[in-house]
C-alpha cells in the first residue's frame, strides 16, 4: 500500500527511546534493584514481582520515573516480608534520583532530522512521561527550539490521539507520529487514519510489546534509523 | 484601574483548590505523617523538615502527589536516623494512594460557572500537577466536557504562560486565568499583560504564598466565590 505523506503538517515525536536513550536506564535500575533484593529472592522472582507491582500501580501512578520508584519501594517491602533495611530504601530513592539526573544520550541522526524537518513542518513532542523530566531532557539536549511545544498525554491510546488532533485542530492525514513503540506510537495512529513511522529501539519494556500483524504492517513503514525518515518524506538533510 | 475583559477568548482554570478541594488533603497527609513520626521528633520539626525536603526535591520531582510521597519517605529515613520501621514506609505509601483515590469535592459554584462560561469562551485547565491525576478528577467530577483540553505546565511562571499563549496562538489580552494562587495563577499573568481573577482558597501551601502589593492589586480582581466571576464578565447563570 502506498502511503501518502503530502498532507502532513504536524509531526509528533515520541521522546524516550526515539530521541534519546531511556529504556536502557530503566533496565539498569531494575538490575540494581535486583542486586539490592538478592538476599530475599531469586533474580527472576524479583523481576516478575516488580513488573507485577508496576502494572498494578499503573492506573494510579501512570508512567514515569516517580511511579517506578514508588513501585520499587513497595516491592522491596513485600519481597522482604517487611524486613528491608532503611539503607535499601535510601538506595532505591537514589536510583530514582540518578535516573532523573542522567545525561541525555541522543540517538543517531536526531539533530540532523529535526534540523531538516523543522523547516517544513511544525514539530511537537508527544509524551506520556513526566513533563518536567521531558522538558529537562529537551533543554539539556539543546533540542528544545526545534519543537513548537510538548504535548503530555496520560496514555497513548486512540482516544488520547483523537483528543490531541482535535486540540491541534488538524485532520488525521495531516499528522505524522514517529516513535519506537508499536503499541503506543504507531498502531493507535493507524487506527484513527493518521500517519506513523516506526523506529524500533533495541530494548522495549514488556508492557509496550505487541505483535504486529501483516495488515498493520502495510499501513506504516518501519525504519532502522531516524535518518530514514528524511528519505521517506523526500527531504535532504540541510547542508 | 478599569480592567477590560472584552477581548477574552480563552479562559484558563487552575484545577486544584480552584475547581475542587486539594490542599486540604495535603494538610491532612502532613498531619498523618507527623503522627507516624511522633516518636522521633516534635511536630514542629517534622513539619519543617518535610517542607525543606519538598523544596529540596522540587526541581527534580516537580509538583504533585508522587513527588510528595517520595519526599515523605526520604524525610522519614532522615528524621528517624535510618531506624524507621517498614510498617511506617508502608503507611506513607498508603497515604499517597489514598490521596490519589480521594473523591472529588467541587468548590462552590463550579458547575454553574463552567456551564455558563463554556457557551461563550473556550475553557481549558492549566495545571502543574500530574496529568493522569487531573484527568481522573475531571472525569470523576463530570466536568471534563466543559474543557477543550488540559494544559500541563512544568511550572507556572511567566515563561511558562508565554509559551502557553504562543501555543494557543492568542494574545495576552485574549487570555483570562482564574485560580487560587497569587504566585502561580495571577501575578505571572499580570506581568505578561494577560487577565487574571483571584479566587482565594482557605488554605494555601506556604510555597505558594506571596504578599500582594498595592500596585498588583489594581491589575486583577479578587473574589470570594467563583460565582462572582460571572458578574465580573457580565454573564448571567444559564437558566
> What was the pLDDT predicted at B131?
85
CA separation (Å) from A222 to A138, A204, B13?
25, 15, 41
The 10s digit of each residue's pLDDT in B94-115 is 999 999 999 999 999 999 999 9
> What was the pLDDT predicted at A36?
98
Residue B104 CA to residue A61 CA, distance in Å, equals: 17
Chain B contact residues (CB < 8 Å to A): 60-62, 66-67, 69-70, 73-74, 77, 80, 82-84, 86-87, 89-90, 93, 96-97, 100-101, 130-133, 135, 148-149, 152-154, 163, 166-167
The 10s digit of each residue's pLDDT in A146-203 is 999 999 898 999 999 999 999 899 999 999 999 999 999 999 999 999 999 999 987 6
Measure B234 CA to nearest chain A CA, in Å: 28
Using CB atoms, which residue from A86, A131, A133 is nearest to B152?
A131
CA separation (Å) from B49 to B19, B44, B53, B75, B208?
30, 9, 6, 7, 18
Taking alpha carbons only, the member of B191, B203, B188 closest to residue B126 is B188
Where is pLDDT greater, at B193 or A132?
B193
Q: Could you please report the per-residue DSSP string of B104-118? A: P-BPTTHHHHHHHHT
Taking alpha carbons only, the member of B221, B81, B5, B100 closest to residue A62 is B100
> What was the pLDDT predicted at B73?
98
Using CB atoms, which residue from A62, A73, A153 is nearest to B130?
A62
Residue of chain B whose alpha carbon sits nearest to that of A156: B132
Where is pLDDT greater, at A216 or A1?
A1
> What was the pLDDT predicted at A130?
82
Give the mean model confidence (pLDDT) for residues A116-143.
92
Q: With beta carbons under 8 A apart, name residues in chain B contacting A131.
A: 62, 131, 152-154
CATH 3.40.50.1000 placement within chain B: 10-20+104-232
Using CB atoms, which residue from A62, A67, A82 is nearest to B87?
A82
Residue A232 CA to residue A124 CA, distance in Å, equals: 19
Q: With beta carbons under 8 A apart, name residues in chain A contacting B65.
A: none
> β-pairing, A221-222 with A195-198?
parallel
Handedness of CA A89, A95, A96, A98 (dihedral sign): positive
The CATH superfamily holding the domain B10-20+104-232 is HAD superfamily/HAD-like (3.40.50.1000)
> Quick one: A178 exposed, middle or buried, by C-beta within 10 A (0-12, 13-18, 19+)?
buried
Measure B225 CA to nearest chain A CA, in Å: 30
* CA angle (A139, A162, A204) in 5-degree steps: 55
CATH 1.10.150.240 placement within chain B: 23-100
Residue B60 CA to residue B137 CA, distance in Å, equals: 25
> What was the pLDDT predicted at B129?
79
CATH 3.40.50.1000 placement within chain A: 10-20+105-232
Using CB atoms, which residue from B67, B97, B135 is nearest to A60?
B97
The correct answer on CATH 3.40.50.1000 for the domain covering A10-20+105-232 is: yes
What is the CATH architecture assignment of A23-101? Answer: Orthogonal Bundle (1.10)
Name the β-bridge partners of A13. Answer: A125, A178
| CA end-to-end distance (rounded Å), chain A | 32
For A128, which DSSP code? S
User: How confident is the prediction along chain B (239 residues), in pLDDT tens digits per residue?
Assistant: 678 999 999 999 999 999 999 999 999 999 999 999 999 999 999 999 999 999 999 999 998 999 999 999 999 999 999 999 999 999 999 999 999 999 999 999 999 999 999 999 999 999 987 888 888 899 999 999 999 999 989 899 999 999 999 989 999 999 999 999 999 999 999 999 999 999 998 766 666 666 656 555 578 999 989 999 999 999 977 64
The 10s digit of each residue's pLDDT in A9-28 is 999 999 999 999 999 999 99
> Quick one: B98 exposed, middle or buried, by C-beta within 10 A (0-12, 13-18, 19+)?
middle
| Cβ B143 vs Cβ B118: under 8 Å | no
The correct answer on CATH 3.90.226.10 for the domain covering B23-100 is: no
Q: Is the pLDDT of residue A215 over 60?
A: no
Where is pLDDT greater, at A219 or B51?
B51
> What was the pLDDT predicted at A28?
96
ipTM > 0.95 for the complex? no
Residues 6+ apart with CB under 8 A from A92: A33, A36, A69, A72, A73, A76
* 3-state SS class at B216: helix
> What was the pLDDT predicted at A40?
97
Q: What is the rounded average pLDDT for all residues in chain A?
A: 92
Residue B1 CA to residue B171 CA, distance in Å, equals: 20
Measure A159 CA to nearest chain B CA, in Å: 13
| Number of Cα atoms under 13 Å in the Cβ half of residue A55 | 9
Exposure b/e, A36-58, CB count within 10 A at least 16 = b? bbeebbeeeebbebbbebbeebe
Amino acid at each position: 500500500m502506498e502511503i501518502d505523506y503530502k498532507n502532513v503538517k504536524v509531526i509528533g515525536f515520541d521522546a524516550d527511546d526515539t530521541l534519546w536513550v531511556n529504556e536502557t536506564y530503566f533496565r539498569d535500575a531494575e538490575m540494581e534493584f535486583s542486586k539490592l533484593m538478592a538476599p530475599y529472592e531469586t533474580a527472576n522472582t524479583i523481576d516478575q514481582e516488580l513488573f507485577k507491582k508496576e502494572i498494578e500501580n499503573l492506573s494510579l501512578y501512570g508512567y514515569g520515573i516517580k511511579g517506578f520508584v514508588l513501585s520499587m519501594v513497595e516491592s522491596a517491602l513485600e519481597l522482604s516480608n517487611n524486613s528491608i533495611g532503611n539503607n535499601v530504601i535510601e538506595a532505591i530513592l537514589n536510583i530514582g534520583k540518578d535516573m532523573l539526573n542522567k545525561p541525555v544520550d541522543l540517538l543517531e541522526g536526531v539533530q540532523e532530522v529535526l534540523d531538516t524537518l523543522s523547516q517544513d513542518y511544525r514539530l511537537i513532542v508527544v509524551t506520556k512521561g513526566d513533563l518536567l523530566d521531558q522538558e529537562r531532557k529537551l533543554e539539556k539536549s539543546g533540542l528544545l527550539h526545534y519543537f513548537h511545544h510538548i504535548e503530555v498525554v496520560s496514555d497513548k491510546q486512540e482516544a488520547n490521539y483523537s483528543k490531541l488532533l482535535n486540540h491541534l485542530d488538524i485532520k488525521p492525514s495531516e499528522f505524522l507520529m514517529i516513535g519506537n513503540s508499536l503499541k503506543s506510537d504507531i498502531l493507535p495512529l493507524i487506527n484513527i487514519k493518521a500517519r506513523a513511522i516506526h523506529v524500533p529501539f533495541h530494548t522495549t519494556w514488556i508492557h509496550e510489546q505487541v505483535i504486529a500483524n501483516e495488515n498493520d504492517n502495510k499501513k506504516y513503514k518501519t525504519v532502522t534509523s531516524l535518518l530514514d525518515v528524511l528519505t521517506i518524506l523526500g527531504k535532504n538533510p540541510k547542508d
